[in-house]
Amino acid sequence: MQSVDPYLLIIEASVIIILSFFFGEVSKRTNIPSVLMLIILGILIKLGLDAFGFGNLNFFPILEILGIIGLIMIVLEAALELKLERDKYLAIGKALVVALVGLGASTWVAAIILERFIDGMTTQSAWLYATPLSILSSAIIIPSVTGLKGHKREFHIYESTFSDILGIMLFYFLTSQLPISEAAGETLDVVEHTGGGLAFFGNVVLTIVLSLIASYAIVLIFQNIKSHVKLFLLIAVLLLLYAVGKRLHLSSLIIILIFGLLIANMRLFFRGPLKKLLNYKKALHIYEGLHVVTVETAFVVRTFFFVIFGVTITLSSLLSVDVAIVSLLIILSIYVIRFVVLRIFIGSDILPQLFVAPRGLITVLLFYAIPTEASIANFEPGVLLFIIIGTSLIMTLAMVVDKKRTTSAIRKVADAPVGYERWKAPTLSDAVVESKSHE
């Protein structure tokens, strides 16, 4: 095996992080998801590795680890942003319902398409393959909707976070119904058949109870730690709880979600006798530091995950007619279902929300986590790449159009004649407010 210069690796890693930062800045100005640029960078690196004879390197173990850590950081980052305030309960409830109904309907239709067009695909395997393709990517959505304001931005944060959690829970539930034993080295533990849905939801309830106990204990213990070196210690504890929970067949991601919600909403969770135990000032300092560390860590992990994903994909599969047909049908079903769900639960003001439905990190992670015993040889990974790129480009176009529409409405008000503006002030002002609310 050829040795690699460690300094060269440091240079390459540093350049990738710097480029990722600039990709993020470009994304803010153009609404092109930085994820697409990272994947393209990975493809270019793959071409370079092939040219220098390193094309046979196995990046999958690194992709697994980065995917798991990235998943934890993204969910924690999203949970720290969720403020459970009384005036937001309705918005949170709507986002939860939209995420749940959208996930279920999209998975069902995608499973029908996969079973119909892919040889050897059983109903059970079709649902297992369809689930990752039906989960919204909070890793793409949250950074991409920063330009939106008010209830629309909050809706996307809530919805994508719920979609991540619910989608992963559905995936675990489906794997728990497979009559196979646990295999060493799998990314996701395959839970043995334990009695169906009732046992699974009992598992979820148990996880929630243990998560609340652990979260209270962590906050109360860490607020009394005087050492300045404790934020990464806290991250290590969360990673430990996640990994141990996985080995015990618990829905470990719920642990991360509940801890994030608890520390972000301490006044809500620490009431009555518990309030006396909380040193709010010290706990708030932990929250602020954890928020910064989580955002920075998620950025780095997300960067290398998508670059390495770009290195591992095979572009030739995109040229397959069968891949294109299956992918386009699934993409079409995504937006038809989303239109119906948003119209029912949100109303007529569904732009650009309708087109903000990209697939990303969790889709890739769960796809690679499908147990070997349940995998279908005839399924082309190009479907995965096609749907990720397609939904991301559609979201990009929708965000650009929405931005131009809003800017145009504001300019009309600014360019109106002085006398005309005064005479029409109430109506024009209302138009601008409404236009901004659409953001």
**Mean pLDDT, rounded, for 80-97:** 83
Give me the pLDDT at residue 398, please.
Answer: 87
49 has pLDDT over 50: yes
Portion of the chain with pLDDT greater than 70, in percent: 84
Looking at residue 171, its pLDDT comes to 87
- Please give the full DSSP string across 208-256, using - where no structure is assigned: HHHHHHHHHHHHHHHTT---S--HHHHHHHHHHHHHHHHHTT--THHHH
Which of 230-244, 314-328, 340-354, 414-428 is the least confident region? 414-428
- Between helix 280-312 and helix 361-368 the angle, nearest 10°, is 70
Given a cut of 90, whether residue 246 has pLDDT beyond it is no
d(CA 238, CA 234): 6
Q: Does 196 score more than 70 pLDDT?
A: no
pLDDT at residue 126, rounded to an integer: 92
pLDDT at 415: 63
Higher pLDDT, 194 or 328: 328
Question: In the prediction, which pLDDT does 190 show?
Answer: 34
Looking at the predicted structure, is the pLDDT value of residue 426 above 60?
Answer: no
**Residue 249 predicted with pLDDT over 60:** yes
Residue 424 has pLDDT above 50, yes or no: no
Take residue 239 and report the two structure tokens written for it. Answer: 């990673």
pLDDT score at 4: 64
User: What pLDDT is recorded for position 102?
Assistant: 95
- pLDDT at residue 120 tops 80: yes
Whole-angstrom Cα distance, residue 408 to residue 216?
49
pLDDT over 90 (residue 107): yes
Nearest Cα to Cα of residue 107 among 162, 65, 155, 167: 167
Q: Is the pLDDT assigned to residue 354 strictly greater than 70? A: yes
What are residue 320's phi and psi, to 5 degrees? -75, 135
pLDDT for 2: 54
130 compared with 7, residue with greater pLDDT: 130
Helix 425-437 with 382-415: angle, nearest 10 deg: 160
Average pLDDT, the chain: 80
The reported pLDDT for the residue numbered 183 is 38
More confident residue, 147 or 119: 119
**186 versus 207: which is more confidently predicted?**
207
Mean pLDDT of 214-219: 91
pLDDT of residue 296: 86
Instruction: Examine the pLDDT at 324 and tell me if it is beyond 80.
Output: yes
* Residue spans per domain, the chain: 15-178+195-370+379-413
335 or 320: which leads in pLDDT: 335
Compute the distance between CA of residue 81 and CA of residue 125 in angstroms, rounded to an integer: 35
- Asked if 237 and 76 touch (Cβ cutoff 8 Å), the reply is no
State both tokens at 37.
Answer: 């640029």
Q: How confident is the model at residue 431 (pLDDT cuts 50, 70, 90)?
A: very low
Which fold would CATH assign to domain 15-178+195-370+379-413? Na+/H+ antiporter like fold (1.20.1530)
Averaged pLDDT for residues 190-194:
38
pLDDT at 105 > cutoff 90? yes
Per-residue model confidence as pLDDT tens digits over 374-408? 888 888 888 888 898 899 889 988 888 877 776 66
Mean pLDDT of 21-40: 82
Q: What is the mean pLDDT of the segment spanning 30-44?
A: 83
Look at residue 428 in the predicted model and tell me its pLDDT.
42
Closest listed residue to residue 95, CA positions, set 63, 141, 64 = 141
**What band does 331 get if pLDDT is binned at 50, 70 and 90?**
very high
Distance CA 134, CA 153 (A): 21
Q: Is the pLDDT of residue 423 over 90?
A: no
Asked if residues 115 and 181 have their Cβ atoms less than 8 Å apart, the reply is no
Q: Is the pLDDT of residue 336 over 90?
A: yes
